[in-house]
Chain A
Amino acid sequence: MHKYIFKRLLWVIPVLFGVSLIVFAIMHFSPGDPATVILGESAKPEAIAQLREQMGLNQPFIVQYFRYIGNAVFKLDLGRSFINNRPVIGEILIRLPNTIKLAGLSITLAAIVGIPLGVIASRKPYSALDNTTMFVSLLGVSMPTFWQGLLLILVFSLQLRMFPSTGFETWQQMVLPVITLASSSIGSIARITRSSMLDVMGQDFIRTAKAKGISEFRVVYVHILRNALLPVVTVIGLQFGSLLGGAVLTESIFSINGLGTLMVNAIRQRDLVVVQGGVLFIAFIFTLVNLCVDVLYAYIDPRIRSQYK
């Protein structure tokens, strides 16, 4: 098992290499010159040329790339922002806690609400209860985050004055953004739980369990749910990963200072260094989350655990 985890950790290195190369190449070869953006529409061409020289943008692609990777690996230095000259690593670390808190709380809420919803729906497939639960979860998935966030602000901040509309420090400030971000994941988790439950329910060992006279509750929550959890865990892992990088809209509606807004601003301003640093970080966390999911499989499913031995 430990050997397996170690091996998986080693895999992070080539993944990060690949990600950094792709991001670097995309940013390098896309149109739009960082120096022009930094200096604005009223800058003199000589000033732009001088800044390009200073930023090292005139050097060949490969030289730029390896210099970047060298600094990142050996000095833990991701460079300084083109725009405000602050160290990129600092810019990321300031915002990382907010993003992790937001994504973590949202995925927890989504799991706590989503799994029971899925279980309830699967108990009597195609009944009114099932249809209602699935309709609600579909609504959660399909409602645009943007619209939903503003709606919550209108009702709970402006009308009822229960929660503030911006910020992310106190628990009151966290309520609305977490609900907004969680609602689409709740839908996905509920739907996958339901279908996975239905799959397991039809299998022979469940009939056997029922025939042995085990209580309904035990059959559902121990025998069926435990076996149905594998795909659910996968989905939760994937959702968490995408929430880390994909919370942009929620962050921007509630003025939360997170990685998403940092990245979007950086992309707009052609702040290559920040974009690269941010993507590398998200890729790193994403790989770790995937690793955790795989390890969790082993704990949930003895069949998988036995393969590691």
Chain B
Amino acid sequence: MRFRKSKLVLVLVTLGVFLTACSTGGGGTGGKDTLTVASSADAVTFDIQNTNDQATTRVARQMYEPLIQQNDALELVPGLAESWTALDDTTYEFKLKKDVKFHNGEPFTAKDVEYTMKRAAESEQIGHIVGELDVSKIKVVDDYTIQLGTKEPFGPFLTHLAHPATAILNEKAVTEGGEDYGTNPVGTGPYKFASWIAGSEINVERFEDYHGTPGATEKIKFKVIKENSVRLISLETGEIDIAYDIAPSDIAKVEENKDLTMLKDPNLSTGYIGFNVQSDTPIKDVKVRQAINYAIDVDAILSTVYQGVGSKANGPLNHLVFGADKNPLGYEYDVEKAKALLTEAGYPTGGFTLKLYVGDNNAQRIAIAEIVKEELSKLGITVEITQLEWATYLDATGKGEHDLFILGWTTITTDADYGLYPLFHSSEFGKAGNRSFYKNERVDELLDKGKSTVNPDERLAIYKEAQELISVDAPWIFVNDGENDTAISNKVKGFAHHPSGSHFLSGVSVED
């Protein structure tokens, strides 16, 4: 009897192994069942209202969905909301999709939207994204209709609702998860959370009850590989299928490899060299700032430091952002003009010293600092470079200890309001974003008006004027608009960049 039992077990085990072997052989598409993607940083937490970082969004985007989605062309398309209408300047009504299920089996209703929005408004990390939302105006009309309103008319409201951080949560899941919800997330997206080895890898699996087109690959593995060169090597050896954030110096190597494809598309970031316009140095004078603008060869920075990655910045806004002026607002490289302006300002031979602050975590920015020092020495201006650890750097520039600084900004909402208001409005001095301590009453007025205007054409005109004024006042030297650089194996099908840097993966498959 005992013998027979063990035989039975043996048969069952063999059968089990056989079945598993069959199932890992690939799904109906005949491709690999796991897509492996590597980036340089680990996610922070999947309680997406408690963080606002790209590493998290890159994974969270596959699991969660907001009311409105912004597609790869940055158009607003239905997410969990089927349609929406403006009832007046401050109120919108959303019709929600029916038959949507959360990963825990709960049905999705207007109550979840209400819960998510109220919770988001309280969040320190993403509160600014739903900042104009008026919680008292949230009204659940029925299970599949909800109204959301703002305090004042707010032009970019819908774009803000398309931000991945405003994706809809399930109240039950969040409450049950408590402090550990961040590692047990529940969304409505095409993939559901499977496992997370902190610092190493995150796994998600296809959600079989998904309301839209199901994910093309059964599983996606997100690996953390910090070293740029090792990430690329792992792609070359086939350990991974997609490598995000390829370093400028590695791009040529990918392009030479016939098994790989290099994808380069613009993203929403912009890089700049800023002046502290209130520092106690000659750069208080707009002429001196303009002179320095003329003296820096931005093209040379692009070709040497960025090696052709990204493009020259037109002005303070990244060119993909709504409201960005298409005319070049920067200053052409012209040392003679720079000298003339300096003479006009009363510094014909320079003769002053500027403190340039730069963070220690970005090799390109450090290289730019050296170039600035070199170029300004031609005008007799001494530049002292101070390299600071990142946290200290944010602190110091927030307090205005610097004369010059180098930094970037990503307009995650794709709207001029978020791209200009925090950086140039006088209410945002210091840590809030305006580290140039720039103040121009007309610009303040325009930025306020742009925020509260709903008509897109009027907004364009307002932001155009604001950008022109900023260009003349020269609180920045515009440097570059960034780029997403991803290397993929030729076996990968269906991958495309999203300008935000967090790409949709549900349509991506890998051939065997």
Quick check: is B343 within 8 A (CB to CB) of the other chain?
no
A34 CA to B45 CA, complexed, in Å: 17
Residues of B within 8 A of A145 (CB): none
Q: Select one of B51, B226, B392 contacting A255, CB under 8 A.
A: B226
Cβ B237 vs Cβ A164 within 8 A: yes
Quick check: is B352 within 8 A (CB to CB) of the other chain?
no
Quick check: is B483 within 8 A (CB to CB) of the other chain?
no
Cβ B391 vs Cβ A37 within 8 A: yes
Q: Which of B194-218 contact A (CB under 8 A)?
A: 197-200
Cβ B234 vs Cβ A165 within 8 A: yes
A157 CA to B398 CA, complexed, in Å: 45
Q: What number of B residues sit within 8 Å (CB to CB) of A?
A: 47
Residues of B within 8 A of A45 (CB): 430-432
Asked whether A255 and B432 contact (CB < 8 A) given A41-B407, A44-B128, the answer is no
* A290 nearest CB across to chain B (Å): 28
Quick check: is B395 within 8 A (CB to CB) of the other chain?
yes
Quick check: is B225 within 8 A (CB to CB) of the other chain?
yes
Quick check: is A43 within 8 A (CB to CB) of the other chain?
yes
Cβ B234 vs Cβ A32 within 8 A: no
* B454 nearest CB across to chain A (Å): 24
For A37, the closest partner residue in chain B by CB is: B391
A262 CA to B229 CA, complexed, in Å: 21
A36 CA to B430 CA, complexed, in Å: 12
Cβ B182 vs Cβ A84 within 8 A: yes
For A41, the closest partner residue in chain B by CB is: B394
Residues of A within 8 A of B82 (CB): none
Cβ A153 vs Cβ B200 within 8 A: no
For B224, the closest partner residue in chain A by CB is: A255
Cβ B128 vs Cβ A37 within 8 A: no
Quick check: is B303 within 8 A (CB to CB) of the other chain?
no
Cβ B179 vs Cβ A252 within 8 A: no
Quick check: is A166 within 8 A (CB to CB) of the other chain?
yes
Which stretch in A17-25, A47-55, A102-110, A220-228 binds the other chain? A47-55
For A50, the closest partner residue in chain B by CB is: B124
Cβ B392 vs Cβ A252 within 8 A: no
Residues of B within 8 A of A43 (CB): 124-125, 128, 431-432
Q: Select one of A47, A83, A94 contacting B127, CB under 8 A.
A: A47
* B241 nearest CB across to chain A (Å): 14
Q: Select one of B47, B51, B223 contacting A166, CB under 8 A.
A: B223
Quick check: is B386 within 8 A (CB to CB) of the other chain?
no
Asked whether A161 and B237 contact (CB < 8 A) given A42-B422, A43-B124, the answer is yes
Q: Select one of A30, A36, A161 contacting B431, CB under 8 A.
A: A36
Residues of A within 8 A of B226 (CB): 252, 255, 261
Chain B interface, DSSP helix/strand/loop, else mixed = mixed
Q: What number of A residues sit within 8 Å (CB to CB) of B?
A: 47
For B127, the closest partner residue in chain A by CB is: A47
Q: Which of B229-248 contact A (CB under 8 A)?
A: 229-230, 233-234, 236-237, 239
* B193 nearest CB across to chain A (Å): 15
Quick check: is A39 within 8 A (CB to CB) of the other chain?
yes
A253 CA to B229 CA, complexed, in Å: 9
A215 CA to B379 CA, complexed, in Å: 80
A198 CA to B38 CA, complexed, in Å: 52
Residues of A within 8 A of B394 (CB): 32, 36-37, 41
Q: Which of B33-63 contact A (CB under 8 A)?
A: 44-45, 47, 50-53
Quick check: is A40 within 8 A (CB to CB) of the other chain?
yes
Asked whether A84 and B225 contact (CB < 8 A) given A32-B395, A33-B391, A165-B230, the answer is no
Asked whether A31 and B200 contact (CB < 8 A) given A85-B182, A166-B239, the answer is no
A18 CA to B53 CA, complexed, in Å: 36
Quick check: is A296 within 8 A (CB to CB) of the other chain?
no
A48 CA to B47 CA, complexed, in Å: 19
Quick check: is A207 within 8 A (CB to CB) of the other chain?
no
Quick check: is A80 within 8 A (CB to CB) of the other chain?
yes
Quick check: is A286 within 8 A (CB to CB) of the other chain?
no
Asked whether A166 and B225 contact (CB < 8 A) given A43-B128, A44-B432, A257-B200, the answer is yes
Q: Select one of A31, A34, A39, A252 contacting B227, CB under 8 A.
A: A252
Cβ A261 vs Cβ B391 within 8 A: no
**Max chain B Cβ within 10 angstroms of own Cβ: one of A45, A51, A166, A262:** A166
Quick check: is A194 within 8 A (CB to CB) of the other chain?
no
Q: Select one of B47, B200, B223, B230 contacting A85, CB under 8 A.
A: B47
Quick check: is B279 within 8 A (CB to CB) of the other chain?
no
* A287 nearest CB across to chain B (Å): 26
A203 CA to B180 CA, complexed, in Å: 65
Residues of B within 8 A of A269 (CB): 391
Quick check: is A191 within 8 A (CB to CB) of the other chain?
no
Quick check: is A95 within 8 A (CB to CB) of the other chain?
yes
A161 CA to B237 CA, complexed, in Å: 7
Residues of B within 8 A of A42 (CB): 128, 409, 422, 432-433
A164 CA to B36 CA, complexed, in Å: 15
Asked whether A37 and B45 contact (CB < 8 A) given A45-B432, A85-B182, the answer is no
Residues of A within 8 A of B125 (CB): 38-40, 43
Binding site for B on A (CB under 8 A): 30-34, 36-45, 47-48, 50-51, 80, 83-86, 91, 94-95, 150, 153-154, 157-158, 161, 164-166, 252-255, 257, 261-262, 265, 268-270
Binding site for A on B (CB under 8 A): 44-45, 47, 50-53, 124-125, 127-128, 179-180, 182-183, 197-200, 223-227, 229-230, 233-234, 236-237, 239, 361, 389-392, 394-396, 398, 407, 409, 422, 430-433
> Can you name 8 extra interface pairs (CB under 8 A) apart from A37-B394, A86-B45, A166-B239?
A39-B125, A41-B407, A84-B51, A158-B233, A158-B237, A166-B230, A253-B230, A257-B199
